[in-house]
Amino acid sequence: PITVQDVRDVAAQLGITIAPKDEADFHVLLAALHEGAVALDALEDDVPVVDLERFPRVGGRFATPEENENGAWAYKVTIEAQPPIAGPLSGRTICIKDNITVAAIPCQLGTSVFTNWHPPTDATVVTRVLAAGGTIVGKAVCENFSMSGSSFTAASGPVQNPYAKGWTAGGSSSGCGYLVGSGEVDLGIGGDQGGSIRLPAAFCGLVGMKPTYGLVPYTGIVSLDASIDYTGPMTRTVLDNAVLLKVLAGTDGLDDRQMGAPTPELVPDYAELARHGHEFGVRGMRIGLLKEAFELPCVEPRMTEKVKLAALRFRELGAVVDEVSVPMHLLAPTLWGGMRQGMAEQSVLANQTGRRGVYLTDLPGLITPLTQDKWDKFSPISQNLLINNVYLKSHHPGQYGKAQNLFRALRRAYDGLLASYDVLITPTTPFVANTNPGPGDSILVKVAKSAGETLNTAPFNGTGHPAMNLPIGWLPALEVDMEDPDGSVMLPVGMQLVGKFWDEGTLYRAGAAWEKRWDWKTDGV
């Protein structure tokens, strides 16, 4: 089926012309490649096998409108071990972000570009939750291709904030934010490529942990950029978060992001470290308020005041709290802009190269080739990121590599402080949740809803440090509730705790000590 015209078409994609005298030779070579490609396509793939008898999928269905009034469910199904397993998650319900594969269950990625993807395998985190006795009760809505920090871009519609309908739940793990924040589900597993665990955690009053890069295997989860892919727990308490991370963490022998990570049996008992914080507080701990994190554009003065007051409370628990400085933190948004050249390469753009791991080989063909009809089904935020990607490749081809190099320098700067301090503190978000836009709002209005959200979260995706949101209190919304214009909408405030590589335990100890002393809902700052 390969002709000389195919050779010419490929050359045109490269922007070059092949000399007529060479076309026949390249035709022979391309035809030989095609024969090999057809042979490879015919081979059975090799992905982790799922024991559907031990872990049956029961009652799978799309949620009814009555069940999904707040837009958080992507799919409902019950999965638990048969016979039941007694483990650390026994009796707990768990929702899974809908970019995490669950065999034989639809995975939608918050898009309508395709509607028929049923992955052939379970993500490692799914396997581990079930082996720990947990009960998965469904897939939680994921924002459009995991590309939004707000909660209005999923094809299924907006996800609501559990404390104020009409306000954002944050993204892209928006469904987990609502379902766990409302108490409908006990625990959630989100994904984070710039703040997508910590943003919804901050907006929905949750503890959300982005672990150290590579601590939790990303096997079987749709990637945006393998250098910034993370998955982790979203819970209502620090102790629950610690229990779930212990279940999820450790190498699986499949994900090459996990260089330097411990094997599961060597993962610390995070729950014990959290209990240590409950019992003994943080006496002797050194905590640094990162000065530049409060000076970035978009950080509201009232947010600065709130987070600093919450951080200073650690002094009452026996810690030293100082203001510290990393001037390069102010450059992090510029570095993050360069990372846009790599966004969605392995998923939307189907460039599945350069990694050793489990590839989701049936997904790219559902998205590519990109057509106008498919493009029109992307959210404006996803469209913008793809335009950014292509533009940077064409006009600034070294941006991505330079951003990666400079993130290494930024890591050294943070590490320099963390040699003397146990925890660094920033606001998680510059502001509290804002309202979801209307369907008729302009692209700029929609993009503006997320502008600045990741100023203090994305840097730690780039450097790899563990970072956790801790809810600390409330602030009134700046926007008016049109259904109750005389009322005052109160929304959660989050404080971000950042630690040394592989030292999630210290973050849990600090967070648990704060949480034990003050209930953020009733006596937070």
Query: Which residues are designated catalytic?
Result: 97, 172, 196
Q: What is the dihedral of CA 503, 504, 508, 511, to 10 degrees?
A: 90
The string of DSSP codes covering 274-333 is: HHHHHHHTTTT-EEEEEGGGGTSTT--HHHHHHHHHHHHGGGGGT-EEEEE--GGGGGHH
218 to 227, 232, 256, 358, 425: CA distances (angstroms) = 11, 10, 9, 9, 26
State the Cα–Cα distance between residues 273 and 504, nearest whole angstrom. 9
Question: What is the C-alpha to C-alpha distance for residues 74 and 96, in angstroms, rounded to an integer?
Answer: 10
For 408, list phi and psi in degrees, rounded to 5.
-65, -40
Which residues lie below 8 Å from residue 32, measured CB to CB, with a gap of 6+? none
Beta sheet of 187-191, edge-to-edge order: 57-61, 73-79, 135-140, 93-97, 187-191, 231-235, 207-210, 467-476, 490-498, 423-427, 286-290, 320-324
The whole-angstrom separation of Cα 263 and Cα 502 is 12
Cα–Cα distance between 58 and 78 in angstroms, integer?
A: 5
Contacts of 509 (CB under 8 A, 6+ apart): 273, 274, 276, 277, 282, 285
What is the C-alpha separation between 449 and 156, in angstroms, rounded? 19
Question: How far is the C-alpha of 286 from the C-alpha of 324, rounded, in Å?
Answer: 11
Instruction: Answer yes or no: are the C-beta atoms of 335 and 413 closer than 8 Å.
Output: no
Report CA-CA distances (Å) from 361 to 120, 121, 188, 222, 497.
Answer: 10, 11, 26, 11, 37
Token readout for 17 is 């012309």
Cβ atoms 341, 322 nearer than 8 A: no
In this structure, the strands spanning 207-210 and 231-235 are: antiparallel
CB 433 within 8 A of CB 450: no
Helix H, strand E, coil C: the string for 206-241 is CEEEECCCCCCCCCCECCCCCCCCCEEEEECCHHHH
